[in-house]
Amino acid sequence: MSTFNSSNYLEGLKSLELDERNLLSSLFAIPLLDNLEGWLYNYFYKLQTPIIPGSKDFIGNPPFYKREFLDDKYLLSKEEVVFFNNGEILKELDKLYGNFHSKLRNIHLEYGNNCAFELLKTYAHCVYWLKDYSHISPFMKGKIENVNLDWSPILSFVKKHTDELISELDWRMNRLNPNNYRNYNPSDQELKMYFKAITVKGFKLIDEQKFKSNFEQIYNLLVPTFFYRDTTVEELDKLFRGNSQLFPSPVVWVGNTNTLSYFLRKLHDKHKLSKNTFFKTAEKLIAGKDGKLFENLKNSRSHPKNDAEKIDSIIDLF
């Protein structure tokens, strides 16, 4: 049952924005047919370092920071090939689909009565994405060098589950809008412009390998002290990927404005960033606690007395 009515419609819209962001983030975590190789590369790239130094991961590999990801290519180990060819990788994909299904069901129950028109737009965006009209994906980068992988099961799995998601979304749209009485028929161009608007290039690091090796420590130092506590590992990771990434909503900085400005300046001064357009990038991707994107960060030059030392120690990890 929905907890909203006409008297709290605006409050419902505000809450929907956050839930829509979470729904779309879970959707973008699912690979499409033409970027499965990039997804597999990213899957192994992001595996966590074992808790016990020197121990192997759950597949049997040495710690992931010792693996070699050269020129955006990765050669799977024997254990990883077995993991893939035995269908174990399908369980990981199934988790992604299950996560989206769960969020989709919850958002429909929560807002279906009071925010039906807004949900129609959200579902239309989802269908457009799943039909691969946007040609934008977080998994465009990364190649697998192995030639002895059996791709047939994973291709069939993704096609089947993608078609099922599209059917479910169409069904939910029909329930929200029977007989099309809300007259919502967005054009492909309109939907294309939506994805263009939320596709932004992140910060380009000079030493991506160091960032990857120290990522867990960097994340724990930045979240929740400086970035909002709900900032996910995926969001922070793609913020520093450099290539075009999908951001359903900005990443939220909860520290002071001068601290953010100091953080960005120091990253550049310490030769951590490959481009000097970091302020423009931040003003497209990072919002304050009020949800508004930052402006004129380069004009904020006051020294953050309480945070400078913390920021300096974090920058050393990049």
pLDDT digits (tens, 9 = 90+) for 278-302: 999 999 999 999 888 999 999 998 9
Residue 82 covered by a domain: yes
- Cα distances from 284 to residues 129, 235, 279, 295, in angstroms, run 22, 14, 9, 9
Shared-domain flag, residues 236 and 192: no
**Domain stops at, among 168, 196, 224:** 196
How would residue 4 be classed by pLDDT, with cut points 50, 70 and 90? very low
Average pLDDT over residues 38-66: 72
pLDDT value at 2 more than 50: no
Kindly report the average pLDDT of the chain as a whole number: 86
Task: Quote the pLDDT of residue 181.
Answer: 61
pLDDT value at 72 more than 90: no
Which is nearest to 142 in space by CA: 45, 244, 77?
Answer: 45
**Domain stops at, among 143, 169, 196:** 196
Q: Which domain holds residue 43?
A: 6-196
The helix (H) or strand (E) run that includes residue 220 is helix 215-222
For 182, other C-beta atoms within 10 Å of its C-beta total 12
Shared-domain flag, residues 223 and 119: no
How would residue 64 be classed by pLDDT, with cut points 50, 70 and 90? low
Report the alpha-carbon distance of residue 302 to residue 55 in Å, rounded.
45
Task: Quote the pLDDT of residue 160.
Answer: 96
Question: How big is the chain by its Cα radius of gyration, in Å?
Answer: 21
Report the alpha-carbon distance of residue 122 to residue 297 in Å, rounded.
32
Residue 207 covered by a domain: yes
Task: Quote the pLDDT of residue 1.
Answer: 39
Shared-domain flag, residues 142 and 209: no
Residue 1 covered by a domain: no
In terms of DSSP bridges, do strands 244-246 and 199-201 run parallel, antiparallel, or are they unpaired? antiparallel
pLDDT value at 271 more than 90: yes
Give the least confident one: 45-54, 84-93, 117-126, 294-303: 45-54
In terms of DSSP bridges, do strands 143-144 and 73-74 run parallel, antiparallel, or are they unpaired? parallel
Query: In b/e form, how buried is each residue of 217-252, taking b as 16+ CB within 10 angstroms?
Result: ebbeebbeebbbeebeebbbbbbbbbebbbbbbbbb
What DSSP assignment string belongs to 150-193?
--HHHHHHHHHHHHHHHHHHHHHHHHHSGGGTT-----HHHHHH
Supply 111's token pair. 């807002």
Shared-domain flag, residues 133 and 117: yes
Which is nearest to 204 in space by CA: 136, 271, 299?
Answer: 271
Task: Quote the pLDDT of residue 11.
Answer: 59
Shared-domain flag, residues 238 and 90: no
Residue 226 covered by a domain: yes
Shared-domain flag, residues 249 and 275: yes
Residue 66 covered by a domain: yes
Shared-domain flag, residues 26 and 44: yes
Shared-domain flag, residues 190 and 303: no
| Report for 56-70, 109-123, 146-160, 230-244: range of highest mean pLDDT | 146-160
pTM for this one?
0.74
- What is the number of H-type helices and E-type strands within the chain? 13, 6
> What's the domain count of the chain?
2
Report the alpha-carbon distance of residue 22 to residue 231 in Å, rounded.
11
Shared-domain flag, residues 176 and 204: no
Residues 171-229 have pLDDT tens digits of 999 888 776 666 667 777 888 888 888 888 899 999 988 998 899 899 999 999 999 99
Shared-domain flag, residues 168 and 280: no
Average pLDDT over residues 159-163: 95
Going by the DSSP 8-state scheme, the letter that residue 64 receives in this structure is G
Task: Quote the pLDDT of residue 62.
Answer: 67
Task: Quote the pLDDT of residue 142.
Answer: 87
Task: Quote the pLDDT of residue 82.
Answer: 92
Shared-domain flag, residues 143 and 163: yes
**Domain stops at, among 181, 196, 211:** 196
Report the alpha-carbon distance of residue 181 to residue 193 in Å, rounded.
25
Shared-domain flag, residues 162 and 270: no
